[in-house]
Amino acid sequence: MKVISIISTIFILALTSCNSWLDITPQDTVDEDKLFATGDGYRNVLNGVYKQMATSSMYGQELSWGMLDVMAQLYQSRAFGSATNYYKIMSKYNYEDKDIKPVIQTIWSQAYNSIANCNSLLSKIDETDSTLFRALNHEKLLIKGEALALRAFLHFDLLRLFAPAPVTQNTGTHIPYFTTYPSTFEPDRTVKEVLELAIKDLEEAKNLVAPHDTLDWRYMLTNAHRIYYRGTDTKANQDLFFKNRGFRMNYLAVCALLARVYNYMGELDATYYQKSYDMAEHVLTFAVAPDSYYSTLDFTDYYDTDENKKRYEEVLFCLSNQKLLENYEVLTSSESPKVKFYLRSPSSLFDDNADARWTELIEASGSYQICTKNIAPHGNIGDYVYCQDMLPMIRLGELYYIQAEHLCRQDDIQGAIEKLDKVRFARNCQTGSMGEMSKKIKDLESFKQEMAKEALREFMQEGQAFFYYKRFNIFPKTGMKDADMILPKPENETIH
């Protein structure tokens, strides 16, 4: 695989607006020595990676509410028209189509370009004097930890997209894992090798970000500061770079991502299922604290969902695209005749009529239904102003799902149902002996079937449901074949 390992786009920090550290504008390539001559240069490159990840061709659309949820069959494909005809084709998994290939190529190229930017930063930071950073060694370690975590996050999602799931026991090589910069060649690696490298990066990143997020500035991860910051709280770090930790690879996010990757590794090494359970428990113990001063995660009250559609209290990590509502409105407004993101029939998607994910996050559009997560509330916008640009990447419910799966694999069916009911109770669903999970889950196979459906509800328009189908080896549509669950590597593998 030939790779052009350059920082093709450098982003310069601008200090404006609500998530102002994310308002960065692209500039021409900058000489690396000059760029990394100051601590602010490291800030700018790291922020640029977050910014690129949030673009529409990445998690701002295609890897969240766009392509990935089309592949999970969340939408009615007949509603896609000329503006996004490729979605209709993607819903049939025709990856060789001329309109699909450029979408896949861009995801591949931009992901590896972001990885190259992380590696460029990492190649310089160890030798950089900590006095160049505004917060000295404290900041230097934090930046290094975030870059390692982002490198792992991106490689892991490339693996989930372009390689078979571990359950298939495929021993072939599929994608490269880049750890050096510059690098002109890296061999494709097996699924297990990629997972091992991602785990190594995340375990190191966890230790690097821990001093900031668990000791010195744990307060910045609380509900009042993680996603949005109000006022001039004297207990909060006033340096803009350290605010809004929920939009960055913070300690909770790194640990939760580790739990996700451990869980994926479990099919290849069963001991990792226990590790994933324990890591999820670590986050829950640390974050869902009885001491309200340090409470950092909590389920959004179901009756507040209409105003707080992104349920920001329970988001561990998210990205920001400040044109998100505008981009989404173009494709969903009543004035647009070209395309609609019409959902599958809610009665086929949901199993409880009182589910707040149905009653509060879905509304009628003519004779069809649409998700309103990326549509501002009617009338008073309320708390939605704090999360309208948000692209949730990891949320609280996934930790309980990870634990439920492990318990089910241990034949503790009741324990697994109780974990699922933690989430469903928060969504106003019937739980316990009268709940749907108690009626439907009898063994591991029935758990997988119900868990895939639950993921489609819980992560609606967040791009995670397809990965549940894939990991459980369940087809989201009848008539599919194994190859439909794997994106083909682009013909041109050069990374620009």
Average confidence (pLDDT) per 10 residues, the chain, 496 residues: 40 35 41 89 97 98 97 90 81 95 97 97 96 96 98 98 97 97 92 98 98 89 81 79 94 98 98 98 83 74 89 95 91 60 92 96 88 87 87 98 98 98 97 95 98 98 98 97 97 58
On whether residue 358 sits in a domain, the answer given is no
Q: CATH number, domain at 301?
A: 1.25.40.390
Question: Coil, strand, or helix at residue 57?
Answer: coil
CA 261/CA 156 separation, integer angstroms: 8
Q: What is the structure's pLDDT at 17?
A: 33
- What is the DSSP secondary structure assignment for residue 490, as one 8-state letter? P
Dihedral angle computed from the Cα positions of residues 124, 127, 130 and 133, in that order, rounded to the nearest 10 degrees: -20
On whether residue 198 sits in a domain, the answer given is yes
Query: How does strand 24-27 pair with strand 390-395?
Result: unpaired
CA 112/CA 106 separation, integer angstroms: 10
Between the alpha carbon of residue 105 and those of residues 101, 112, 163, 170, the distances in Å are 6, 11, 15, 24
Q: What is the structure's pLDDT at 230?
A: 64
Q: What is the 3-state secondary structure (H, E, C) of 159-213?
A: HHHHCCCHHHCCCCEEEECCCCCCCCCCCEEEHHHHHHHHHHHHHHHHHHHHHHH
Dihedral angle computed from the Cα positions of residues 180, 182, 185 and 190, in that order, rounded to the nearest 10 degrees: 20
Cβ burial, residue 410 (10 Å; 0-12/13-18/19+): middle
On whether residue 330 sits in a domain, the answer given is no
Q: How many domains does the chain have?
A: 1
On whether residue 373 sits in a domain, the answer given is no
On whether residue 350 sits in a domain, the answer given is no
Q: What is the structure's pLDDT at 197?
A: 98
Phi first, then psi: give them for residue 11, nearest 5 degrees: -110, 135
Between the alpha carbon of residue 452 and those of residues 162, 207, 214, 229, 401, the distances in Å are 20, 32, 33, 35, 10
Q: What is the pTM of this model?
A: 0.93
Instruction: Provide the 10 A C-beta neighbour count for residue 388.
Output: 20
On whether residue 2 sits in a domain, the answer given is no
On whether residue 63 sits in a domain, the answer given is yes
Q: What is the structure's pLDDT at 8?
A: 46
The domain in which residue 46 lies consists of: 10-321+388-480
Between the alpha carbon of residue 68 and those of residues 74, 98, 233, the distances in Å are 9, 18, 39
On whether residue 490 sits in a domain, the answer given is no
Cβ burial, residue 391 (10 Å; 0-12/13-18/19+): buried
Q: What is the structure's pLDDT at 228?
A: 76
